[in-house]
Amino acid sequence: MDFTFTEDQLAFKEAISRFLMTEAPPEMLRDIWETEDGRSPELRRKMAEQGLTALSVPEEQGGLGMDDIAWSLLTQELGYYAIPDSMADTAYVAAGLLKSLPAGTHDRDDLLSRVAEGSIRLAIGHNINPLVADVHLADNILVEHQGEVHMVSREQAGYERNESIDSSRRLSKISVNPTAQSRIVDADVGSGIWAETLNRGALAVAGQSLGLAQRMLDLSVDYAIQRKQFGKPIGSFQAVKHKLADVVGGIEFAKPTLYRAAYALANNDPRSDLYVSHAKLACCDAASVAARHGIQVHGAMGYTWEADLQMFMKRAWALNASWGTRDFHRQRIADDILRDDADIGPRYTFGE
């Protein structure tokens, strides 16, 4: 079995990286954060023109028909550049939910087409998240209610804005009164769809966290080279090297868990819950270590507004509990591997 990415997948990742490097430098992100909405319609339009919103929409609805594996690459770039937009919520998580709806479901194809062209924002109200991102700009909100899937417009939902430690996060507590008119599918169908949605949301967080970890490592390495003490770059001191080596180790151990989880989701693996929770924990841990050691390398100045490190550090902190807390994901892992009949061992990883 070939575990490497294809040339097309790697070229895609590199193209997105070059695009975001140009269109979303840190100084631009600071300007976006300070606006009332905290979002840039121009950046969103450019991302749609690059095909990012069409990535996982089926070709029949004008999309590119790519899968979770492609998103495991893209979400890393969204994290690496700390993109202040909930595009992954619409183009990945919501698109995945809409694709899972039974064929012929009212407005399904139209919504997917609008996602592909970038003309709609969708917020996701899953019960695992007490706060919902970007409700203030959403055209529609997909809401879980006792396993059912409901959709309401922003005007039909009440919401109260909630401040976040990450200035780019625009979170709200929503209040929705589900009705028969707002219900898209019942609980018999919806419960499975919401389970997949939870996994895609957690995988999106894992990918962004891994990208954040890599960016914080790069910033710390650059600073360790430039900052001098006793006439030498601080990166030449063993204590600093050990800190940065710990970050590298965390990132390298987290990468395969992310890709394994993406593979599981893309192939409807019955143990997807296990792999996604493993990826979420490993990638968030890598980001946490990168933030902690990055601050130790930078010193107190790393917390200041002028330092880029604080932007990525705060995003990592804010995402840590999104789409499931650490306790939630640890419990899912325990429920799987501690079963009496658990399939444990190398031969179960990808099948015989």
Q: pLDDT tens, 217-263?
A: 999 998 888 776 777 776 666 777 888 899 999 999 999 999 999 99
Q: What is the pLDDT of residue 1?
A: 57
Residue 253 and residue 287 in contact, taking contact as beta carbons nearer than 8 Å: no
Which single residue is written with the structure tokens 């749609």? Answer: 48
Q: What is the pLDDT of residue 127?
A: 93
285 burial (CB, 10 Å; 0-12 / 13-18 / 19+) is middle
For residue 38, what are the CA distances in angstroms to 34, 85, 319, 331?
6, 8, 17, 35
- Other residues' Cβ atoms within 10 Å of the Cβ of residue 37: 12
One digit per residue, the tens of pLDDT, for the chain of length 352 reads 567 888 888 888 899 999 999 998 988 988 988 888 889 999 999 999 999 999 999 999 999 888 999 999 999 999 999 998 888 999 999 999 999 999 888 889 999 999 999 999 999 999 999 999 999 999 999 999 999 999 999 989 889 999 888 888 899 999 998 899 999 999 999 999 999 999 999 999 999 999 999 999 999 998 888 776 777 776 666 777 888 899 999 999 999 999 999 999 999 999 999 999 999 999 999 999 999 999 988 888 887 888 899 999 999 999 999 999 999 999 999 999 888 888 777 777 666 5
| Whole-number Å distance between alpha carbons of 10 and 18 | 12
Domains of the chain: 7-188 (1.10.540.10), 190-348 (1.20.140.10)
| Whole-number Å distance between alpha carbons of 23 and 16 | 10
For residue 43, what are the CA distances in angstroms to 39, 49, 120, 167, 225?
8, 10, 14, 17, 32
Angle at which helices 238-266 and 272-298 cross, to 10°: 160
User: Which candidate, 79, 31, 38, 74, places its Cα nearest to that of 56?
Assistant: 74
| Whole-number Å distance between alpha carbons of 323 and 204 | 9
Q: What is the pLDDT of residue 349?
A: 66
**Helix segments in the chain, DSSP class H:** 7-23, 26-33, 41-49, 68-80, 87-88, 95-100, 108-117, 187-226, 238-266, 272-298, 309-319, 326-337
For the segment 206-217, what is each residue's pLDDT rounded down to a tens digit? 999 999 999 999
Q: What is the pLDDT of residue 306?
A: 83
Q: What is the pLDDT of residue 228?
A: 67
Residues with Cβ within 8 Å of 256's Cβ and at least 6 positions away in sequence, in order, are none
Q: What is the pLDDT of residue 4?
A: 81
User: Which candidate, 68, 81, 64, 287, places its Cα nearest to that of 196?
Assistant: 68
For residue 224, what are the CA distances in angstroms to 111, 231, 232?
48, 13, 10
User: Which candidate, 90, 80, 16, places its Cα nearest to that of 47?
Assistant: 16
User: Which candidate, 66, 71, 63, 54, places its Cα nearest to that of 13?
Assistant: 71
| Whole-number Å distance between alpha carbons of 48 and 247 | 33
| Whole-number Å distance between alpha carbons of 207 and 262 | 10
